[in-house]
Amino acid sequence: MKILALSDEVVPFIYSPVVRERFADVRLIVACGDLPAGYLEYVVTQLNVPLAYVPGNHDADDFVVQGGQSVDGRWVRLNGAAIAGLGGSQRYKPIGKHQYTEQEMLGRAARLLLTSRMGGRRIDLFISHAPPQGVHDGADPVHAGFRAFHTFLRTGQPRLMLHGHTHVQRNLETTITQLHHTQVINVFPYRVVELEASG
């Protein structure tokens, strides 16, 4: 299944009618946070495929995308794939709903693992805003990744993890990393990825 993954920056040619031709074979849209709801609603309307999304640290506390499904702290099945998500970033200021301490994110990850296990199926795709600590993250506190995601990936073993949050400025930067049993991909600002059908 082809996935159009988006994060952190509006891409002009995606926010135009050409999106239908360019991404005609896409079967799922994934939004990894910090994108305007109107932009995502436009892409969903143009491609007419499901959207799974998580909020980023700059998204409003009541962030909702009409026509999409939030997977923040939960899992869903879309197009036959089990998809789970955890939005937000490391806490770097006292207020803001989509910011978490390491301990808070560990608790969220544990609850998500428990509910997905109760669903009786391995997660195919894990969506987050922030990356795992030490994988595609930044040195500054705002863009630091979560240690909790290492535990989540090691235990839950999703096949694919898509994240945003860290802006890739040079084409020499690493954006795809194998971590435990999961391929981790930074999708900033967009990327088309393939999720192979599970056996």
Could you list the beta-strand ranges (E) of 35-154: 51-53, 69-70, 74-78, 81-86, 89-90, 99-100, 125-128
Each residue's pLDDT, cut to its tens digit, for the chain (199 residues) gives 999 999 999 999 999 999 999 999 999 999 999 999 999 999 999 999 999 999 999 999 999 999 999 999 999 999 999 999 999 999 998 888 999 999 999 999 999 998 877 666 789 999 999 999 999 998 888 899 999 999 999 999 999 999 999 987 666 678 999 999 999 999 999 999 999 866 5
Structural domain count, the chain: 1
pTM: 0.95
The CATH number that applies at residue 38 is: 3.60.21.10
Q: Is residue 199 part of a domain?
A: no
> What number of other Cβ atoms are within 10 A of residue 117's Cβ?
13
Q: Is residue 181 part of a domain?
A: yes
Burial bucket for residue 73 (CB in 10 Å: 0-12, 13-18, 19+): middle
